[in-house]
Amino acid sequence: MSKVIIGVTDGRYYENYAGWISDYPGVEIIRLGYRQNNFEEIKKCTGIFLTGGEDIHPRWYHKPEYQELFLLSDFDEFRDEFELKMVEYTQQNKIPVLGVCRGLQLSNVFFGGTLIPDIPSYGKFNHGKKEGAPRNHSVMIDRNSDFYKLVGIEAGQINSMHHQSADRVAGDLVATSFSPDGIIESLEWKNPSAKSYLSLVQWHPELMADQNSPFVATIRKDFLEKVKNI
């Protein structure tokens, strides 16, 4: 059994993500980010956790015209660049990846997809914070997906605190769950054979009140078990 060392991407609320993923027996973490200037430490990692945070600059998915929907303070292009390089490394070396919120969006962009830059501007309900706290809404899971096999239920409750989301899904990926208004809530490989483990969710399991929910505990356990067994 391999030692479990998870590289956790640096950013807003890093401590929340680090605490959640390391609150599991035998897990060590390494904080990875451009501020630490420690990309080489990814070589020590047996798994990568792509966390939430800043918006992804639209130039990375060839939509510079979207920039007018943002404030410059919404972006951190140094973080974008560092983490896109991380995803490239995981694919070259078949390192399991768990992505949450921004992590889902970044992965979709890396593989060639695009993003909805601002959900309310696209005529959807607000998926951002409400009075400083995450919103909660239902989610529907596609029964054809591996994600359905993992969580074992067709619908449930998740939280929400984002204003970007996946739009056009990258060719190698497929959407596996949706909010009632059609926002993509999770992605997986379309054809997972011979590919490294990849689990991408739009919600924030680290902030869910019910930590025993299959949308929390099952996701973390599955990722870490896959890391242990590589």
Burial zone of 90 (CB within 10 Å; 0-12 exposed, 13-18 middle, 19+ buried) = buried
Number of domain units in the chain: 1
194-219: burial string, b at 16+ Cβ within 10 Å, e else: eebbbbbbbbbbbbbeeeebebbebb
Active site residue 81: no
Domain membership of residue 213 as a residue range: 4-228
- The interaxial angle of helices 219-228 and 14-22, nearest 10 deg, is 70
**Cβ contact 105:115 at 8 Å:** yes
Per-residue pLDDT of the chain (230 residues; tens, 9 = 90+): 457 999 999 998 999 999 999 999 999 999 999 999 999 999 999 999 999 999 999 999 999 888 887 777 789 999 999 999 999 999 999 999 999 999 999 999 999 999 999 888 877 776 777 767 778 889 999 999 999 999 999 999 999 988 899 999 999 999 999 999 999 999 999 998 879 999 999 999 999 999 999 999 999 999 999 999 87
Specify the pLDDT at position 1: 47
User: CA-to-CA distance for 212 and 180, rounded, in angstroms?
Assistant: 23
Specify the pLDDT at position 131: 65
Active site residue 45: no
Within 8 A by CB and 6+ apart from 50, the residues are: 9, 83, 86, 87, 97, 98, 99, 100, 102, 103, 104, 106, 107
Which CATH number goes with the domain that contains 79? 3.40.50.880
Specify the pLDDT at position 119: 83
Indicate the pTM of the whole model: 0.95
Active site residue 206: yes
The three state secondary structure string of the chain is CCCEEEEEECCCCHHHHHHHHHCCCCEEEEEECCCCCCHHHHHHCCEEEECCCCECCHHHHCCHHHHHHCCHHHECHHHHHHHHHHHHHHHHHCCCEEEECHHHHHHHHHCCCCEECCHHHHCCCCCCCECCECEEEEEEECCCCHHHHHHCCCEEEEEECCCCEECCCCCCEEEEEECCCCCEEEEEECCCCCCCCEEEECCCHHHCCCCCCHHHHHHHHHHHHHHHCC
Specify the pLDDT at position 162: 82
Of the residues 83, 101, 163, 188, only one is catalytic, namely 101
User: CA-to-CA distance for 121 and 109, rounded, in angstroms?
Assistant: 20
